[in-house]
Structures are given as structure tokens and as C-alpha cells.
Amino acid sequence: MDSKKVFEYNRVREYLMMMRPVLDKAALFSDESEDYLIPPEPDCFDNVKIRFRTFKNNVDAVLIVYDDKEEVMEKVESVGVFDYYETSVQLSDVDFKYYFEIISGRITCIYDKVGVGNKGQLRDPFCIRPGFHVPSWAKGAVMYQIFTDRFYNGDYDNDVIDGEYSYLGRHSHKAITWDKIPDAHNTAEFYGGDLEGIRKKLDYLQDLGVEVIYLNPIFVSPSNHKYDTQDYDYVDPHFGRIVKDGGRVLSPGEKDNTNAEKYMIRTTDMANLEASNEVFANLTKEIHQRGMKIILDGVFNHCGSFNKWMDREKIYKNKSGYMTGAYIEKESPYREFFGFSDDSKWPDNGCYDGWWDHETLPKLQYEQSPKLEEYILGVAKKWLKAPYNIDGWRLDVAADLGKSEEFNHKFWKKFRKEVKSVNPDALILAEHYGDVTAWLDGDEWDTVMNYDAFMDPVTWFMTGVNKHSEIYQPESQGNITQFLETMNTYMNKFPTQSLYCAMNELSNHDHSRFLTRTNHMTGRVTNLGAKAASQGVNKAILRAAVILQMTWPGAPTIYYGDEAGVCGFTDPDNRRTYPWGREDKELISFFKEVIKIHKSSKVFRTGSIKMVKGETDILGYGRFSRQEQFITIINISSQPGTISIPAWELGIPRKGVLEQLIFSNETGYSIAPIKYELDNGCFDIQMQKYSAVILKKVGEV
């Protein structure tokens, strides 16, 4: 081509570039959902299709960038106002990281997990982990957490007896009434909730819409919380069944458990232990017959001072069928299970390592005992097998297990192999705070309790109070920038499959009740009093938070009683009993309706998410796929306002019609099917104060 033609060609090209519509960055989209990564959980060496969305006829090229290579993607489809680009990639057996580069005229930008960015400023790339599969049933599953002692008393014959034993200087006792506020300092105070109580309330849980039951620890233990395991092999007979009883209780003032005969019989006699395991086996069978799942709390970081391996309280001393505990004899076969750091103090206080220096919580020493490791792995498998057949484990303080992170990773890799060898579809869900990246690489945990990418940012945004009700920061309430930046930071650390089954809670056994946080009071029950927990609460904010919870990526998890209006400061006040006969029935009805909406569509389990509105006090986002689109809008302001929503960004037609599925405000909620018609892909909606709404695309004008 001669110089004159080259000049004319460049002039025409420059003119066309100038005439091209400005790049519509709001239309750019991709993620790791099944619409944009096919298949969404590929195996090693699979061939995958990766897709990217742009506004129609709005870009010159879309490139996928990986391994320092750029590959031009092919436009394969135009639907509505969007073009879809696609490429195929052959995976290996290592992580595949990628992002996109979009060229439109003189504009070039990138698109990574954070969204649109400037060229050369990659933040978080997309990452495919070949071979990493999580249980499909756990994605978006509606979970229900039960602190067993406080849920329902179904068998009064197994209740703890006053003076049955001594723990932390106090005698065990049963609360005088079911609705008594828990003693702030007594972990040996019981209310009588048990497994039979859960079985008797399965109709209630199923009617609520629960799909997975998560139980706080249920194994033999002297405390009401049972994070101080006495025997990993058996369900506590106080939760199960006592068929053999007798023996004396302690006299007033007596602290020595050597004479706690009734407790010894109840918790060490094989007739009681085997009967209690049978109760649990029957419970899991009925749960499964109803199409529900159950996961247990695995407390493998530490055990309890009552544990048969330690036997500090001499519960097992000279008992037939039990070997001598490490606190009883230095020659005990279990001595290597613990860190006896100062033999000069033995057997006095401080002679062994306790978790956070708690002598009632002896730290298990895995590095020095392969036998301990083998035993705990055996425990994990035992409860996954028949006749119990649990569906997974929640792992207490999982990252604290060993003395080094290196050992922890080695252990949890073994744990995953052993668990998945018994049931490949079992869920491994860890308690963890902070960056999850190192733990969710496909060979350890499936997911985590989602503090950093759900509970923390949601409670700050909705209430301005932290999850312990210790701090109130008014500047955090309604701070949409803080909310979105925190969510972006921590959600992007998750593999998508792990995010879909992350446990999204508003409350749990370690933190204050969410409803209490809405009153902005800070402190503990000991200095504020029990009544303060329910004074000035805002149920409209709770309803808005539940709407968010049921439409956000993850497994929405209800802490027993939240749906009934239970209040409480941080533990143990958050462990109040379920208020049978005094429950907030209107709130329960609301929960049922929102859960029903959550379960109505696959979109809420594995669909994409995109922000469509974010300003002070206002959050608007879509959950969508190519087939279905939903919009959630939340206004936590004390003032009403009109909100404009660009619904077209979710793939809703320019003349689409949306229908209200549920609306919540200060006075209650409505499921009236109000319709909204889009005008050129957008619509306005009047949001009342403290309100939230879920809308669904139902057609076109």
C-alpha cells in the first residue's frame, strides 16, 4: 500500500474510532458462575469455556490475559443489548489465573475479579482451581444453628441434676425456669435441651424452610457449651438417653468430683453412651428422611480437663475399660497427647498447656503424637459413617490446631483426604477469621464461617455496631463505601465455589444477637442488664438484614431463635432459650416468606451478583443468570427516598417488567405483587425508611 493510501486508511480508522460510542463500562461483566465459566468446577486437564459480556457493538476487541499471554476472544452471541465473547482454554493441574483486557477505540481497560480497572493495574485475577469441588447441596443451603441445651427439652429424664458434679468451682444445676436469663458466669447451668427436643421440633424447622441443621458440640462434656470435650466417641447422655442411673450427688460445698458418682455413671457407663449414640443415629436418619442435612461441631484444637485422656477430675480413674489419664500418671499412654511443660508443678495447676491458658481446655499436641492425629482422624470418619451418616464438620478454631501454620496445612490436607474417602459429598467448614486464601486451595477446607465477607461488613453497615456489641461507630452505619470495599476485599479471596457455601450468619453463639445490635447499646449483660438487650431494638433493620442474607452469595444461616425475636448481648447472653409459646409469630412468618424466595431460584445459590446502586444508606444489587434476574434494594436510612435503578445491567430487557416478591418496612412486611415497568432499562422506586425489597423480572411490556 503506497503512502497516500496508508495516510487515507489511518484517517478513516481514526474517524471511526472517534465516532464509536463511548465504552459502556457498566455493561462489562464476567465471573466464575456457570454462565461465564463452563463447567464452573472443572477437573484437572479439562477444557473450559470462558465468557465475557460487553455492550452490543461497543468494543473493538476483548482479550483474555493469562500466563503473560494475550488471546483474542471470539464474539459468539448477541442477545438484547449485550455481546458475548468466548474462548476455550486447556487446564493443567495447577491454578489457572486470568483477567480480561477490553479495547474500544482509544480506550483500553482491564476487568478482573474486582471489576473494571485501568490497564496495567491488575488487582485480583480470576482463578480456576482444577479439581476443587464442594458439595453442591451446600451451595446457598439454608442452615439453622442449634445450641442444643437451649432449644427444646424433649426428655426430662436425662436432665442434669443439681450437684451432679462440680465445674469451675460451681455445682451443676438446672435452671429454675426455661425462660430464665443465663447465668453470666456458670457454664454448668443447664436448661434441659436435648436431641429428642430437636427431633420433636423437626416439623417446625422443616416448615421454616431449613435445609441443614448445624449443632454446636454434642459429645460428652461437663459444660453447657460442650467445647471442652470429655469423650469424642460418644454423645453426651444428658443430650441423649440415660438408661442406667444411680449414685450420689455432691454435698453442698463439696468440690471434689471423686465423689460425683451419679455423673460418673451417667457419662462413663457403656449402656448410657451406646444408648445416646443410638438416639443420635435415629435423629440423623429422620433428618435425612426429610431431605435435610446435618453437620456437627468438631472441637479438635483442644479437649476438656474432664477428658478421659487427661482425667484431671478422676472421673475415669479405676473405671473398667478405660486407660489411665495423663493427669493421673506420668506413664499414661495419653501423656504425649498434651504439653506437660513444667513437670515440677505436676500435678498442680499450670503443669500442662491450656488453650489461651485455660486449664479446663487442655491444648492437644499433634506434632508430638502421631497416635493422637490418627485418633482424631478416626473420630472424623466415625461420625460420617453408618449409622450416624453426618453430612459434614464445622471445625472449631481450625487455624489454631498446631504450633505452626505449616503443620496445620499438613493436618487439614490429611483431614480432607480421610473425610472425602468416607463421603466425597461431606462439607468441611472451618471457623476462621481473616484471609482465607491459603486454606481454600482445594485440598483442605471447603469453606468457612463467613465473618469477614458477611457478618462483619453487614453488621457495621446495618447497625454501626460490631458483632460483639462492644463498639458503636455511627460513621460506619450506612457507610456504603466501607461496606463495598470490605466486601470486595474479602469476597474476592474466596474461590467462587467456596463463597457459594460460606456460612453467612447475622448472629451465633460467640456474638451478640443481631436484633440487639440494632439498639446501638454497647457492653455486656453484666453491666447493662438483661432487659437492655431488647430495649429500643429495630425489627425493620433485622428484616432488611435477613432480606440481604437470603439474597447474598453464600449459605444463609439462622441462629436458633433469631427468627422468633430473641435478643441478647455477647455470650453467654446470646445463648438464651428458644421462647416456645412466646415467639414473635409475625417475624417467623416473615422468615418463612424470605426463605421461600431464596429457595425458589437457583440464582440465589449459584448466580452472579452485581451492584446497581450504592450511596449513603442505600444498597442495591442484582442476583442473576441468563435465565432469571432479581433485584434487592435496601434503605437503612430514617428518611424515605426515591431510588433509580439501572436494571438493564443485569440482563433485564429495556422494556422489562419487575414484580415485587416481598417488601419490608418499619411496620411489617408485604408480599403484594406490585409491578414496575422499566423505561429504557431503568425504573424508579419509592423506598420508605428502614425498608427493603426483592423484585423479580417477570416479563416485558
Structure confidence at residue 97 (pLDDT): 97
Judged against a pLDDT cut of 80, whether residue 588 lies above it is answered with yes
Reported confidence tier of residue 7, pLDDT bands at 50, 70, 90: very low
Structure confidence at residue 633 (pLDDT): 98
Contact between 210 and 144 (Cβ < 8 Å): yes
pLDDT digits (tens, 9 = 90+) for 196-223: 999 999 999 999 999 999 999 999 999 9
Which class for 84: exposed (0-12), middle (13-18), buried (19 or more C-beta within 10 A)?
buried
Contact between 418 and 380 (Cβ < 8 Å): yes
Task: Give me the residue label for grid cell 479439581.
Answer: 131
Of 398, 392, 382, 426, nearest to 213 by C-alpha is 392
Average pLDDT, integer, range 343-352: 69
Reported confidence tier of residue 601, pLDDT bands at 50, 70, 90: very high
Contact between 557 and 601 (Cβ < 8 Å): no
Average pLDDT, integer, range 494-514: 98
Reported confidence tier of residue 6, pLDDT bands at 50, 70, 90: very low
Contact between 159 and 238 (Cβ < 8 Å): yes
Residues 6+ apart with CB under 8 A from 428: 392, 393, 395, 415, 416, 419, 444, 445, 446, 447
Structure confidence at residue 343 (pLDDT): 67
End-to-end alpha-carbon separation of the chain, Å?
Answer: 53
Structure confidence at residue 435 (pLDDT): 93
Average pLDDT, integer, range 78-101: 97
Q: How far apart are CA 232 and CA 303, in angstroms?
A: 9
Q: How far apart are CA 699 and CA 409, in angstroms?
A: 50
Contact between 697 and 683 (Cβ < 8 Å): no
Average pLDDT, integer, range 668-683: 96
pLDDT digits (tens, 9 = 90+) for 320-333: 999 999 999 989 99
Average pLDDT, integer, range 501-510: 98
Query: What is the rounded (10 degree) CA torsion for 522, 526, 532, 537?
Result: 50
Residues 6+ apart with CB under 8 A from 151: 193, 197, 198, 201, 560, 577, 578
Region for residue 509 given its phi and psi (left: phi exceeds 0; alpha: psi -120 to 50; beta: otherwise): alpha
CA 289 to the chain's CA centroid: 24
Cell numbers for 233: 466417641
Q: What 3-state class would DSSP assign to 466?
A: coil
Tally Cβ neighbours within 10 Å of residue 397.
17
What DSSP line would sit under 407-443, residue for residue? Answer: HHHHHHHHHHHHHHHH-TT-EEEE---S--GGG-SSS
85, containing H or E segment: strand 82-90
Task: Give me the residue label for grid cell 426430662.
Answer: 156
Structure confidence at residue 9 (pLDDT): 40
Structure confidence at residue 17 (pLDDT): 45
The phi and psi torsions of 286 (rounded to 5 degrees) equal -70, -40
Q: Is the dihedral of CA 267, 269, 272, 276 positive or negative?
A: positive
What are the Cα distances from residue 388, in Å, to 19, 212, 221? Answer: 68, 15, 19
Of 557, 508, 497, 599, nearest to 291 by C-alpha is 599
Q: How far apart are CA 499 and CA 555, in angstroms?
A: 9
Average pLDDT, integer, range 481-500: 97
Judged against a pLDDT cut of 90, whether residue 682 lies above it is answered with yes
Average pLDDT, integer, range 391-399: 97
pLDDT digits (tens, 9 = 90+) for 646-666: 999 999 999 999 999 999 999
pLDDT digits (tens, 9 = 90+) for 276-287: 999 999 999 999
Query: Across the beta sheet with 503-505, what order do the strands follow?
Result: 447-448, 427-430, 392-395, 293-298, 212-215, 143-146, 555-559, 503-505
Q: What 3-state class would DSSP assign to 13?
A: helix
Reported confidence tier of residue 90, pLDDT bands at 50, 70, 90: very high
Judged against a pLDDT cut of 70, whether residue 143 lies above it is answered with yes
Q: 539-551 vs 456-463: helix axis angle to the nearest 10?
A: 150
What DSSP line would sit under 362-397, residue for residue? Answer: BBB--TT-HHHHHHHHHHHHHTTSTTT---EEEETT
Structure confidence at residue 701 (pLDDT): 80
Tell how strand 447-448 and strand 427-430 pair up: parallel
Residues 6+ apart with CB under 8 A from 481: 614
Judged against a pLDDT cut of 90, whether residue 8 lies above it is answered with no
Reported confidence tier of residue 318, pLDDT bands at 50, 70, 90: confident
286, containing H or E segment: helix 270-289
Tally Cβ neighbours within 10 Å of residue 323.
15
Reported confidence tier of residue 12, pLDDT bands at 50, 70, 90: very low
Judged against a pLDDT cut of 60, whether residue 4 lies above it is answered with no
Q: How far apart are CA 538 and CA 541, in angstroms?
A: 6
pLDDT digits (tens, 9 = 90+) for 234-278: 999 999 999 999 999 999 989 999 999 999 999 999 999 999 999
Reported confidence tier of residue 15, pLDDT bands at 50, 70, 90: very low
Structure confidence at residue 20 (pLDDT): 55
Q: How far apart are CA 524 and CA 556, in angstroms?
A: 27
The phi and psi torsions of 413 (rounded to 5 degrees) equal -65, -45
Contact between 570 and 532 (Cβ < 8 Å): no
Reported confidence tier of residue 350, pLDDT bands at 50, 70, 90: low
Q: How many residues does the chain have?
A: 701
